[in-house]
Amino acid sequence: MELHDVATLSCNLLFPSLILLFSLVIWLKLVKKKNLNLPPSPPKLPIIGNIHQLGKLTHRSLRDLSRNYGSLLLLQLGYNPTILVSSADMVREIVKNHDVVCSDRPKTTSMDIMFYGCKGMCLGPYGEYWRRVKKMSVVELFSHERVQSFQFVRDEEVEHLVNQINCACLEGESIDLSEMLMSVLSNIVSRCVLSHKSDGCSKFGQLGKRILILLTSFCIGDMFPYLRWLDVVTGFIPSLKALSMEFDAFLDQVIEEHRALENHEENNHKKDFVSIIMQLQKDGMLEMDLTRDNIKAILLDMFVGGTETSTTTAEWMMAELLKHPHAMKKVQQEVRDVVGNKSKVDMEDISKMEYLKCVLKETFRLHPAGALVPRKTSANVKLGGYDIPSDTTILINIWAIQRDPKWWENPEEFIPERFEKSSIDFKAAGEIAENLDMTEVYGFSVTKKIPLHVQPIPRFQPALGLDQQRRDSTTSRRDRALDLINIWVIQRDPKWWENPEEFIPERFEKSSIDFKGEHFHFTPFGFGRRRCPAIPFGVASVEYLIANLLYRFDWKLAASEIAENLDMTEVYGLSVTKKIPLHVQPIPRLSV
């Protein structure tokens, strides 16, 4: 047979074989799926599935779907099966029983290109590398001391903003407060991360604006992988690559600047995240080797993760206060009473501002910056009695849960008072305490495998009493494990102990267990292992900024606007932001 004929024959055979193979794969998939008990799905269209039901305000459309079809749904978004979670009970089940399996993140094309193949922390898969970077960030970058050490940045940036507003007041102009909040908060984040400003005039600021646009643009290939080539033809992927190269050059320059300072004899510059990470790496304190790409991806994560979230929160907080003059008056009174005659608010004053904290919590509840938290399963898992296959995207509708009438009275209303005297806090549903690694090592006694890295906060010495005795009795249960009678097993025997695997000192008290609740209906910073590591940083920046604005100025809406009718229309993007910028008339307080 001629070579030509062989080629023709192979071609003739290839096509039918491919069809056969393809049909077999689809058939196998269908058979496999048939045996699974999948969550209910709303009706879907061929090819696009449920995409048409996402709407412009996706968080709201998804809430409506869950109201009609249930709090655990299977959506088909083009090619991607996606689980939609819309109840606090389901979040509790995830955190309590499947936190590790539900701790991956889905990747998108733009994230993959912009974030160095997701080599940072926000987007990387759950695993040893992610665990170490997260630990580094919690212990080294966002500890209480570190957040305090950046107070000089907050001071300078807020003072600069106050001066700008004062100038506008002299001219009698109204201001675009949204734009100003964006500038000041992105400057705070980017100066702490890499000592560069990122407001509209700076190079980093310009790059930052472009990245936000591209990250929220629709990418055809993410929904329909076989049409990925269209993203090249439309210019989407080339623009991503071009921007990524510009960012890369900028971050390289930042790292070189820090290297130069590092080698400088009189190096007394203030520390930022870049220099902290480089120092830890140099001192061999990181338990891993970070490549330059790793460092750049982490820096970008911090910048993108920190800017939009803080800005959105501050903007909604001011908007809600302007819309509710009673709350505005109450919070201003509190701020002014606490600060007295000083020229500005100090960080220490803020801990005394209880109502301000309630206003912030109520803002987080109604306007969580991460309205839909994305996760991905790394193995098959059973959720709410349904089978969720491995590699499935999970979207948790935090926005809907935080407005669920099951948990919140008048859920659509802005009522900061609901948090007064309540123990509900966004810190409760967290990884750190809940998922602290308790792996044991069997040796002379059963010891804790991972050393306990903690942040001591000095307090008055508590009297040693019953509490101490109770603690002793619980620890000794573990230490006696070497006795030949397996006390370890006996002391965890469900016949004798309720929830035998849990650490509950109260079981030794006479009174019954006081179950405090874990607030899975209030998780503006996410939950479980992947929870936001920067809560102290984000909260300190927003509280300090807003407290100063409330102290230094009175606020009126721009002419002809009535508080009641203030437009609160949302835009769904990286976060849910305010569509119409906040135009206001600041009035300086003469007595300050």
Q: How far is the CB of 85 from ligand HEM (least distance, A)?
A: 12
Sign of CA dihedral 227, 305, 535, 434: positive
- Residue 370 in the binding site for ligand HEM (CB under 6 A): yes
Out of 301, 315, 362, 518, point to the residue binding ligand HEM (CB under 6 A): 301
Of 56-64, 216-224, 239-247, 523-531, the window that binds ligand HEM (rule: CB under 6 A) is 523-531
- Residue 530 in the binding site for ligand HEM (CB under 6 A): yes
- Residue 324 in the binding site for ligand HEM (CB under 6 A): no
* Separation CA 540–CA 270 (nearest Å): 19
- Residue 524 in the binding site for ligand HEM (CB under 6 A): yes
- Residue 430 in the binding site for ligand HEM (CB under 6 A): no
Out of 247, 355, 525, 544, point to the residue binding ligand HEM (CB under 6 A): 525
- Residue 122 in the binding site for ligand HEM (CB under 6 A): yes
Identity of the residue, 132 or 477, whose beta carbon is nearer to ligand HEM in the bound complex:
132
Identity of the residue, 53 or 307, whose beta carbon is nearer to ligand HEM in the bound complex:
307
Which residue of the chain is nearest ligand HEM when measured via CB? 526
Contact 272, 195 (CB under 8 A): yes
Q: How far is the CB of 135 from ligand HEM (least distance, A)?
A: 11
How many residues bind ligand HEM (CB under 6 A)? The answer is: 26
164-170 contacts, C-beta under 8 A, 24 or more apart: 165/549, 165/552, 165/553, 165/586, 165/588, 166/588, 168/586, 169/553, 169/586, 169/587, 169/588
The separation between CA 543 and the C-alpha centre of its own chain, rounded to angstroms, equals: 18
- Residue 42 in the binding site for ligand HEM (CB under 6 A): no
322-325 contacts, C-beta under 8 A, 24 or more apart: 322/555, 322/557, 322/563, 322/566, 322/582, 322/584, 323/414, 323/563, 323/564, 323/566, 323/568, 324/414, 324/563, 325/563
Q: Is 131 exposed, middle or buried (0-12, 13-18, 19+ CB in 10 A)?
A: middle
- Residue 557 in the binding site for ligand HEM (CB under 6 A): no
- Residue 305 in the binding site for ligand HEM (CB under 6 A): yes
Query: Tokens 């520390």 correspond to what residue?
Result: 271
Out of 186, 313, 393, 577, point to the residue binding ligand HEM (CB under 6 A): 313
- Residue 546 in the binding site for ligand HEM (CB under 6 A): no
- Residue 208 in the binding site for ligand HEM (CB under 6 A): no
Taking residue 317's Cβ as centre, other Cβ atoms within 10 Å add up to: 25
- Residue 121 in the binding site for ligand HEM (CB under 6 A): yes
Q: How far is the CB of 542 from ligand HEM (least distance, A)?
A: 6
In angstroms, what CA-CA distances link 467 with 457, 498, 544? 19, 21, 37
In angstroms, what CA-CA distances link 263 with 218, 277, 428? 45, 16, 43
Contacts of 530 (CB under 8 A, 6+ apart): 103, 105, 126, 375, 431
Out of 65, 274, 532, 549, point to the residue binding ligand HEM (CB under 6 A): 532
Out of 86, 309, 363, 585, point to the residue binding ligand HEM (CB under 6 A): 309
Q: Which residues bind ligand HEM (CB under 6 A)?
A: 121-122, 134, 189, 301-302, 305-306, 309-310, 313, 369-370, 373, 524-527, 530-534, 537-538, 542
